[in-house]
Each structure stands twice: as structure tokens, then as C-alpha cells.
A and B are shown apart, each in its own frame.
Chain A
Amino acid sequence: MKVAGGTIFAGVSSTYAFRILTTPGEGLAGDEIVTTGHRWGMVIDLNKCKPGCTACLDACRHENNVALFGDDRWDIHWIRKVGLHKKDNPGVGEKSILLLCNHCDKPPCAQVCPVRATYKRDDGIVIVDHHRCIGCRYCMIACPYNARSFNFRDNEEWPNKERPKRSHGVAEACHLCAHRLDQGEMPACVEACNAIGAGAIYVGDLNDPESNVSSLIASNAVKRIREDLGTEPKVYYVGL
């Protein structure tokens, strides 16, 4: 058996060859499917949102390694402040709103994705599987909120090593900090907004009538952006 290199290899490959057909990690992934039951939604109270404040934007960039190259062509935004003014009366009633992925119930980005990299989880979060994304940018064209960005180049900065960054050539958007919600924490923007004392952003379970977002929606005149498109967004604005 000294000429045994071949024998050992043959033994190993026959022992393990058929594992490919089974589920290799059975029992090793988390047992609990956390995506059922919930239906995450967001309420943004624009009356409490402070003008000029960028706490949530900075927190998001740090938490999720969202790239900022300093050039409008390549900058990536998951959440941003957009100024609004009236068409007929500019200068009156100007306000800025937070614009992010609306996590639509009927997401056009997921419908057009040719490789199903973008999809809606059972708990309503619209998420990009960056492993699967081929970078065709259909989703960016389909999104009526312009909430998606494309990685035209590699991001050198890596502030939060716990979380992955994205490589060159994939589309990305807010995933409502799914990694935090899965573990029972609140998204980074919510925590940052609460930390500075504004408390303008709320995330909660829309299925639960007792939750903070459900009661806010019930007690306030809430609006969603471009409801006429029928995408059924789940980001609600108070005071829009």
C-alpha cells in the first residue's frame, strides 16, 4: 500500500462523493426560521426629523460599509435626504424627507431580476443576494424611488469589519438591517436617531396591531410615496 496515494484518494472520494446530493449543513444552520410571522415596516416622522442632521445616514454608512467615494457618479446611498419644494410656489413649505428602499409588498425590482438575486423575504424585507447578483442593473431601472445604487468600483474603506462590504459589479440597497432584526435588534438608523434624541424613525411589525408602527399609522395621517404605482411600499411618512 505504499503506492497508496491513489488508493487514499479513491477512498475519500467515494466516501464523500454522495454528500453533494444531501444537505451538508443540516442541523448546523440556525434552527429557527425568523422570517415568518413578521411583516417589517417603517414609519418616519418628518416633524421630528431635524433639518441638517445626518445621524441616520452616517450610522447606516458605518454599519453596512456603504461606500462614499466623494464623486456623485459612484457614491452609494442606502438612505438619503431629498429636498422637496412645491412646483407652483418655490421657496414656500420646503422640506426634506428621508428616502430609502421602501420594501414594497409588490417590489418591481424583484420582479425584473433575471437571476432572482433580489427577492422579498417572508417578513417583507426586500433584499439583494449579492452572491447571486450579476450586475445587470434592471432593478435600478425598475425602482420608482431611485433607492438602488450600483458598485461601479471597489470600496477601499471598511469601517465595520463585522459586516461584509460589496465587491465591484453588484447592485445594493437598504435591507432594513436584516441582520439586526433577525437577532431582535433595531436597525442602525433607528438607534442613531434615538441616540441623538430625535426619535423620528420607527421600525416594527405591521402584522402586530399593538406595535409602535401600527399604532402610529392608526393615529396619524400617514402617507406613502407614489402609492399610485401600486407597489404597496411599507415606509410610511408622518407630516409629508
Chain B
Amino acid sequence: MNINKILGGKIRILAVAIPVLFILFPFGYSAVASLMAGNVNDAPLFLEKADSEFEECVRDATYMRYHHWELLRYVREEVVRYGKRGDISLQKCQDCHKNREKFCDKCHDAVSMTPDCFECHHYP
């Protein structure tokens, strides 16, 4: 005797629907969660504001947010290898971003980064 005949075909719908729902659940969950969280841009400011007379950093904020480490690494090579001591250094960052715990460490902690810059370079 065939099981399809007993359940009148409903088992087929369930057999497709349950895995599909299971797969789609994370997408739906994150969509609902982001709707509940509201607009990303309205989130309160996370880092301490720079304390300086300058309007802007050496690059725009989005670039600095994602790629400041590339900049620092590039300048590091230039300084150590060729002595090109210019306007970018961890010392110069301190002129505006005075507190490491309220600036560097905020994001690094949030994304579980442990850069070893500060083992050797002083940042208050």
C-alpha cells in the first residue's frame, strides 16, 4: 500500500515546505531584525569625536573606517625603509583622537581584533 494514497498527497507539500522554510528562516529573521532596529544611519555615534581644529581626517571617514590599517602599513614601510617621515603616523593620530580606549579599542574590541601596534607604540 502506498503512503501517498493514505495522506492524499499532503505529505508531498510538507516534504517541500519544511526544508524551504528551514533554508529561508535566516534571511527572514535578519530582515525582521533589521526592520526592528530601524535605520542604520540613525544609530548613536559609537566613537569619540575627534578633538581638533581640523575639519577632516587625511582621508574621508568611510575610507578611514575600513582602510586606516592599509594606510598605516604603507606609511610604516615608507618610514622604516626610506625614512620618508611625513604627515601620517600613530603619533599624529593622537593629535585629534586623544583617547585610545574611546577610539581605537572600541571597534577593535567589537570585531575581536587585537592589533599589536600598541605593544610598542605609545598611544594614551
Residues of chain A at the chain B interface (Cβ within 8 Å):
2-5, 8, 12, 15-16, 19-20, 23-25, 28-35, 119, 121-123, 127, 129-131, 154, 158, 161-162, 164-167, 178-179, 182-183
Interface residues of B in 55-74 (CB under 8 A from A): 58, 62-63, 66-67, 70-71, 74
Assembled-state Cα–Cα distance A19/B120 (Å): 28
Is A5 in contact with B40, judged by CB distance below 8 angstroms?
Answer: yes
Cβ-defined contact, A131 with B76, below 8 A: yes
B interface SS class: helix
Q: Does B106 contact A (CB under 8 A)?
A: no
Q: Look across to chain A and name the residue whose beta carbon is closest to the beta carbon of B84.
A: A30
B38 to chain A, nearest CB (A): 8
Q: Please state if B78 and A2 are interface contacts (CB–CB under 8 Å).
A: no
Contact B83 A19, beta carbon cutoff 8 Å: no
Interface size on B, residues (CB 8 A): 33
Asked if B109 is an interface residue, CB under 8 A from chain A, the answer is: no
Cβ–Cβ contact B81 & A29, under 8 A: no
**Are the CB atoms of A8 and B119 closer together than 8 Å?**
no
In the complex, chain A residues whose CB is within 8 Å of the CB of B34: 2-5
Binding site for A on B (CB under 8 A): 30-31, 34-35, 39-40, 58, 62-63, 66-67, 70-71, 74-76, 78-88, 91, 116, 119-122
- Is A16 in contact with B66, judged by CB distance below 8 angstroms? yes
Q: List 9 A-B contacts (CB under 8 A).
A: A5-B34, A19-B63, A20-B70, A28-B75, A30-B87, A34-B84, A130-B120, A154-B119, A167-B119
Q: A3-B31, A16-B67, A29-B75 are in contact. Are A183 and B85 (CB under 8 A)?
A: yes
